[in-house]
Amino acid sequence: MTTVPITIQVDPQAARAFNSVPLEEKRKLEALVSLRLLEATRTPDSLKQVMREISRAAQARGLTPEILKAILDEE
């Protein structure tokens, strides 16, 4: 499979996790991300579902609307 490099913004913890694994594991993670991106962009409904899942996970980790606003205002 041919691949093309892209740049995405991720949580610092996710970046550290990715950078700490061996090359073979990185390739597996890249394949998973690629598949997830394709899945998320196939239909608007699946993108909405992915966004809901991300939102639920962020809230479960303590992200509040106030914290999100503060993060976005930093930029």
pLDDT score recorded for residue 26: 93
All structural domains of the chain with their residue ranges: 11-42, 44-75
The tens digit of pLDDT for each residue in 6-58 reads 999 999 999 999 999 999 999 999 999 998 888 778 777 777 887 888 888 88
Which residues have a Cβ under 8 Å from the Cβ of 21 and sit 6 or more positions away? 29
pLDDT score recorded for residue 20: 95
pTM of the model: 0.58
Tokens of 25: 């594991």
Q: 8-47 in b/e burial notation, b at 16+ Cβ within 10 A?
A: eeeeeeeeeeeeeeeeeeeeeeeeeeeeeeeebeeeeeee
pLDDT score recorded for residue 21: 94
